[in-house]
Amino acid sequence: MNHPDRSGRLGELCFLSPESGLNTEKQRSVFMHHVSGTNSQKTAGPLQSSVLLNQVRLCCVVVCSSVRQVAVLGLYLSVLFSLYLVPLGMYSPCIKEAGTLGPAPTLIGHRGAPMLAPENTVMSFEKAVEAGGEGLETDVTISYDGVPFLMHDATLKRTTNVAEVFPNRTHLDASMFSWAELQQLNAGDWFLLRDPFGTVSSLSEADCSQAQNQSVPSLAQFLEVAASSGRLVLFDLHKPPYGHPYICGCVCLNSCACVLWLPSEDRDLVWAVDPELQQTSGEKASIQELTDSHITSNFHLSPPLSLCSKYQSVNISTNLYVISQQWLYTLAWCAGAQSVTTNSIHILSNINKPLFLMVSRLNSSHDHPAVLNKVHITFLKRLPTLAKNCSSLNGHLRFEPKQINPPPLKNANKMYSLVQKTNKLTNKKHGL
């Protein structure tokens, strides 16, 4: 006996899980009775029951497989759509209007040229000057007997052999040593042994010998190097610990506009005594706070690049530190930073243009003549091919030689002759 609604019932039951409600023989019989649609059949045969159950399982597998495919496709399309939307929210300072790129940032040697010589030594600052640095940055502290000297760390352990000369005083602050004691230390051996930047192998024997004999320099020695080379100087003052005889002392400098004053303590007093010093700040502050403090340059570790243009609008220059990679230097350049403090002056000084720069449009046809010439030459070379491919078109095809407005081509006569030949070939092809 035929039951026209059997297939429909089977289709409805295909969405049921084979494991739910069909675990016993009695349940299978009831299920088969529903599928067969007859009231006379109380139980289903084992063979027929097995076939129909397999069909139901097959339907469930197909449906589940389709659902998975739809889910995977939906996930793929959503990811693809997101990738298309990502560029809309991206910002890069290297996407600029033509002609708006400013000059390259000034290079300031971070503790000299620490990739070529031991940091904060006379050799390091001389190497920075030789490599093209326009400024020198260092750290100043004061000895126990009142001599300002150069040292970045609070102790002498990392950059001197204090463990050999004064083994019981390695934990002391560097300012707790007298100048005579500091002169007994070697400030170069550690550089050759540890090779902090992996550059020692590239140094000459003379440079290695010079580095090995470096000592802790005084502030006066540092200023002599800067003055003889006409370089800007930037230094941070390290206050000695409590109990130091010069904790309330000061560092006296001759009035000079080439000195960038970074310490924030007693800034108003320093500016009142010597207004020629360039007041710089390494603190995050609003433009109003910076102008009120007579700040002319703001030093940042990692500021939003958009701040550079805001500072520049009120004549406050921006320095980014420490910038030693070429791609970071490119970003700083495009963002409008006026200077960068770097460990790699010898590398960055050789960069004459940004590594990547996207110009949004050409202001005139003469901005990039070489590129335009290449484009038009390529087009003219393809004219015969275009004529051949278009010969099957109904109607008439004609190339009209017109004057080329972009920059003149070196082989303009040959190009014009090529256009005329193409014209004749096309006219002959179509009987014109």
**Per-block average pLDDT, block size 10, for the chain (432 residues)?**
46 43 50 49 57 68 74 87 74 79 94 97 97 95 94 96 96 96 97 96 96 96 94 88 82 60 72 77 78 76 68 83 92 90 96 84 45 38 42 38 44 52 57 56
**pLDDT at residue number 5:** 47
- Quick one: DSSP state of residue 12? H
pLDDT at 227: 92
- Give me the pLDDT at residue 335, please: 87
What is the token pair recorded at 71? 């889910």
Kindly give, in sequence order, each residue whose CB lies less than 8 Å from that of residue 384, ignoring residues fewer than 6 positions away.
422, 425
Strands (E), 198-312: 232-237, 259-261, 278-281, 297-300
What is the residue-wise DSSP string for 43-110?
S--HHHHHHHHHHHHHHHHHHHHHHHHHHHHHHHHHHHHHHHHGGGG---TTEE-TT---PPPEEEEE
Closest by alpha carbon to 170, among 158, 179, 186? 158
pLDDT at residue number 414: 52
What would the pLDDT profile of 111-154 be if each residue is shown by its tens digit?
Answer: 999 999 999 999 999 999 999 999 999 999 999 999 999 999 99
> What's the DSSP call for residue 339?
E
pLDDT at 278: 79
What integer pLDDT is reported at residue 386 of this predicted model? 39
pLDDT of residue 89: 67
The model carries a pTM of 0.64
Host H or E run for residue 292 = helix 287-292
Q: In one letter, which amino acid is 359?
A: V
- The pLDDT tens digits of the residues spanning 185-221 come to 999 999 999 999 999 999 999 999 999 999 999 999 9
CA 327, CA 337: separation in Å to the nearest integer? Answer: 14
